[in-house]
Structures are given as structure tokens and as C-alpha cells.
Amino acid sequence: MFRTLLRDKLYTLINIAGLSLAIASCVVLGMYLRSELTYDRYNANADRIYRVEQEFKADGRSQRVAMVSGLLGPMLAEELSDVRAYVRFLQPGVQLGATTQRAISHGNDTFTWSDVYLADPNVFDVFSHKILYGDPKTALVDPSSAAVSRRFARKYFGEANPVGEPMTLDNGEPRTITLVFDDQPPNTHLKYDVLLSYNAAPPAPSDETERARNLFAGDNFTYVVLPERYDARRFAAATAAFYERHMAARAREIHSEGWSAWLRPLADIHLYSDVEWDLPTGNRYYLYGLEAAVAFLLLIACINHVNLATATAG
């Protein structure tokens, strides 16, 4: 066998190189496919977390969007027993379509960050994080608190524990760091380096008319925790009744012809989102092409291997 390999060095080199390249390519593509297909599944509650999305209808047109009113989460939790918890993410002071860059300072150091959100205090109960410093139960209770990523902490403080340190937002508002969480995995659809307490958000309007109008807005990514194997049809029926109770009477004032909301499973957001106002998402059709490429490469590798085995057998 080895005499044959030595005699046909060029042929052997071509076949071995082709086999190695095909296998290496398949491994790399397989790792990428695995990352894409497991987006957000690192969360312990991934199978029970859903994002609430909505559709507006007006002037004969409809718009389906990823964000809902900040009032919707707490109202659904109050009225629907199926909603075990909710978490809202709101980019403070950012208008739709505007830049999300925020300059944050500590002492003489100022850096710009894109992924800054207000989040409800229970965010660390609903989503999985590795906590490095601080108490996740109380970290975002105080309106002046902030939870930051390891990447953020290193930028300003090196390897020191920054809990208790002050920082200043670009609008001059002070915040105190109360928690440091490890950097999120790369395959998560909602990325953040700074979480500010949602308790610092403007209070909800007390006027019933204004609250009803506010329900037609959309500026919060809102996630709910529901029972295992939840039937999404129950949510559709509940939100239809919710619309009749709280929104239908005011719909005519804002020329609305209807409203509806539905659930998007957390693990489906990256590849299956088809709504506006969403974060960058993946494309499942690209993955189909990559899967075909992997299968083709494996086929070529098998053919090359058979050719090599046949040649050495002679």
C-alpha cells in the first residue's frame, strides 16, 4: 500500500488534499450552522419565552412590527393568568430610525456604546446570564442603577470590581453600577452591554384616554414567560378581548381600523422574524444553501476517498 502511495505521489497528494479540504470546510460550515440554528437556546427558559409582536391597521393598510407599547406587558400580566412574567427592553431617548449610539463617561474616560437599554428588574430571572459581581435580584430596582457587561467593565476599570462605581450618561444623568454580567454568547438576537433600570422610564399616563392611545404605540421589545407547551391560540383570543376592553373605543380617534398581537417563540426570532422595527436577523434560506453545500462537499470527499482507496488497492 505505502509503495503505491509513494509511486503515485502527485495523485495521492491531490486526493488527500481534496479530502482534507472538504472535511475541514464541512467542519467550519457545520459550526456556523450550529450557531445559527441554536440562537438564544442557551437561555434556561428558552422554550417558555415569547416576544409579543403587533399589527396596526389604518387607511386600508397594515403594519406588522416587533415592538409594542410599554403598557402592554404589565397590563397583560395583570389580566392574563398565563403570563408568569414579562420583561421590557427600551432604548432610552432613541427615536425610531435614529442612531442608537450613547456616550457613557466615568471620570475622564468616555466611550460610545450601541447596545444600551432600559430593562425591567427581573431581566436576570427571565434570561440566563453568568453574574460576575452584584446581586441580580436587586441590581435594577433602584432607578439610578445600571448593570454592565464584562466588556464594558474592562473598558473603564480593567479587571477591578466596578460595583458601586458611578458613570454618567450623555444627557448628564448619573448612574451607579450595581452588577456585572459576563458577555452574552454571540448567537443571541438581542445584544446589550448596558442595562439601565426600567424604573427610570417616564411613568405611564394616568388618564384612561391617554393610556388607550398609548397602547397603539410601539417602542418596547416585550417578552413574556408562559407555561410549557403553551397554546398560542389562547393568547390570540385573550388579546382580541383585550383590544375590545381597552382600545376599540379609541381606535376611531386615531383612524385605526384594528389591532392584533401574537407571540413569537424566542428561538424563532433570529431566523423566522418577518416584521418591521426588528433587530438584524438571520436568513434561513441562506442556511438551506449552506446545508446543500455541506452535503455536496461530503459527497465529493466520499468520491475522492473511494478513488484513493481504489488506486491504493491496485
- Determine the pLDDT at residue 307: 64
Q: Does the structure show a pLDDT above 80 at 265?
A: yes
pLDDT for position 27: 79
Short-list 37, 22, 41, 40, CA closest to 288? 37
DSSP label of 153: H
**Per mean pLDDT, which range of 138-147, 200-209, 299-308 is the poorest?**
299-308
Q: 291 near 33, Cβ under 8 Å? A: yes
Average of pLDDT values for 252-272? 89
Mean pLDDT in the chain? Answer: 87
The residue type at 33: L
- Taking the alpha carbons of 285, 287, 290, 291 in that order, is the dihedral positive or negative? negative
> Per this entry, what is the length of the chain?
314
* pLDDT score, position 88: 98
Going by their DSSP bridges, the two strands 166-169 and 109-113 should be labelled as unpaired
Give 262's pLDDT tier (boundaries 50, 70, 90): very high
Looking at residue 97, what is its pLDDT?
47
Mean pLDDT of 128-137: 98
Q: How far apart are CA 301 and CA 297, in angstroms?
A: 6
Q: Above 50 in pLDDT, residue 1?
A: no
**Mean pLDDT (whole number) for 234-261:** 88
What is the predicted pLDDT for the residue at 7? 55
| E strand map for the chain | 49-58, 61-65, 85-90, 102-106, 109-113, 116-119, 131-134, 145-149, 166-169, 174-181, 194-197, 221-225, 258-265
For range 52-79, the mean pLDDT: 93
The answer, yes or no, to whether residue 243 has pLDDT greater than 50, is: yes
Degrees to nearest 5, angle at CA 218 with 72 and 226: 40
Higher pLDDT, 130 or 17: 130
